[in-house]
Amino acid sequence: MLCGHYTPEVTDHLSHTPVLLETALSVLHPEAGDSVLDVTLGLGGHAEAFAKVVGPDGSLIGLDADPRNLASAQNRLLPFHTVTCVHANFHDLAALALPHFDIIFADLGLSSPHLDDPKRGFSFRSDAPLDLRFDPSAGLSAARWLQEVDAEELTRVLREYGEVPHPHQLAILLKDQLPQTTFELVRAVEQILHWRAQSFLPQVFQALRIAVNDELSALDTLLDVGPSLLNEDGRMGVISYHSLEDRRVKQVFRMITTAPKNLENGQDLYPASYSLLTRKAILPTEDEIHRNPRARSAKFRAIRRVKLQS
């Protein structure tokens, strides 16, 4: 699907500010003619910046699980004829038969429409059906997922994905009440956490969202398959927003950039196939956070595929 199809009913979010954009461009260093894979196209902000640099001799493939985001990105990327948009989740990266790339990029955060459109059910500040799916045409809504999951698994999700207090009590109550809307979920949380509910509502919604969209499994797939899709000297960068994501990125990037050791003498058996471009996670500046509060928790890490010795 070329990014040249205009959908009038979709709002073009051209005022959207991509998180850590200058950092991503500086570290990943796109050049004219490069090939780029953006696995989280979103509203197309990062993709637009990459496309401008790689130019007509380069190419960009953008993936997004959300069909509305994909349509908005298509509108934004109309001027670029070497951009291809694909309705897909990077969970299916291995099955997409993609070529190799000079740059692979992922911004794991929620896109603005997910939070700004109350009908999507991502925000606890507006009453809406309890959905939380990135792709409303696939999988189970959060309300339906709560019907299907058992209390033990729901307890684990609330504890591990949201670090929510009293996860078992809340799980039992949710299984009893089976909330269908965001406000019904809010009231259930208030019954268990009382005056602390407002502080933990973001974590509750985060935990259910991660489970409904199988986000951590998708990230594991990206970190497993993505590096192997890099050309020699290719770069891969990931922006994460919470410790569950960043810990995975940090651990995998550290593992694949560390040369395997001889267990007897500690010497490198052979050089690592990748090198770190970021020794530590790069955080947004205070100025960026002021301009774009949603960047507050962002962390950027990147690696490079090492050139083979000739």
CATH 3.40.50.150 describes domain 21-107+217-305? yes
Beta bridge mates, 300: 239, 282
Amino acid in position 148: E
Q: What mean pLDDT comes out for the span 101-130? A: 81
pLDDT at residue 117 in the model: 67
For residues 132 and 160, is the Cβ–Cβ distance under 8 A? Answer: no
Give the Cβ contact number of residue 139 at 10 Å.
16
Q: Indicate if 119-213 has the same CATH topology as 21-107+217-305.
A: no
Tens-place pLDDT, residues 116-156: 666 776 788 889 999 999 888 888 999 999 999 999 999 99
* Opening angle at CA 259, ends 107 and 221, nearest 5: 30
Least confident residue range of 114-118, 214-218, 250-254, 271-275: 114-118
Domain boundary assignment for the chain: 21-107+217-305, 119-213
Quote helix, strand, coil % in the chain, to nearest 5: 45, 15, 40
119-213 fold:
DNA polymerase; domain 1 (1.10.150)
Question: pLDDT > 90: what percent of the chain?
Answer: 78
For 249-283, give one letter per residue: b (16+ CB within 10 A) or e: bbebbeebbeeeeeeeeeeeeeeebbebbbeebbb
Q: Is the pLDDT of residue 237 over 80?
A: yes
Q: Is the pLDDT of residue 52 over 90?
A: yes
- Which helix (H) or strand (E) covers residue 48, if one does? helix 45-54
Q: Is the pLDDT of residue 226 over 80?
A: yes
- DSSP class of residue 132 equals -
Beta bridge mates, 2: 84
Is pLDDT larger for residue 17 or for residue 214? 214
Q: What mean pLDDT comes out for the span 222-233? A: 97
For residues 249 and 302, is the Cβ–Cβ distance under 8 A? Answer: no
- Predicted confidence band at 10 (pLDDT cuts at 50, 70, 90)? very low
pLDDT at residue 15 in the model: 54
The two structure tokens encoding residue 29: 């260093």
Between strands 83-87 and 101-107, the pairing is unpaired
Tens-place pLDDT, residues 165-197: 999 999 999 999 999 999 999 999 999 999 999
Give the Cβ contact number of residue 165 at 10 Å.
15
Question: pLDDT > 70: what percent of the chain?
Answer: 91
The two structure tokens encoding residue 85: 């948009």
* Opening angle at CA 171, ends 167 and 172, nearest 5: 120
Q: Is the pLDDT of residue 11 over 50?
A: no
pLDDT at residue 27 in the model: 98
Q: Is the pLDDT of residue 14 over 60?
A: no
- Establish how many alpha carbons lie within 13 A of residue 299's alpha carbon, considering only the half-sphere containing its beta carbon: 17
Distance between first and last Cα of the chain = 38
Q: Is the pLDDT of residue 73 over 90?
A: yes
pLDDT at residue 5 in the model: 40
Q: In what order do the strands lie in the sheet with 230-240?
A: 83-87, 59-64, 35-38, 101-107, 230-240, 299-305, 274-276
Beta bridge mates, 37: 61, 104
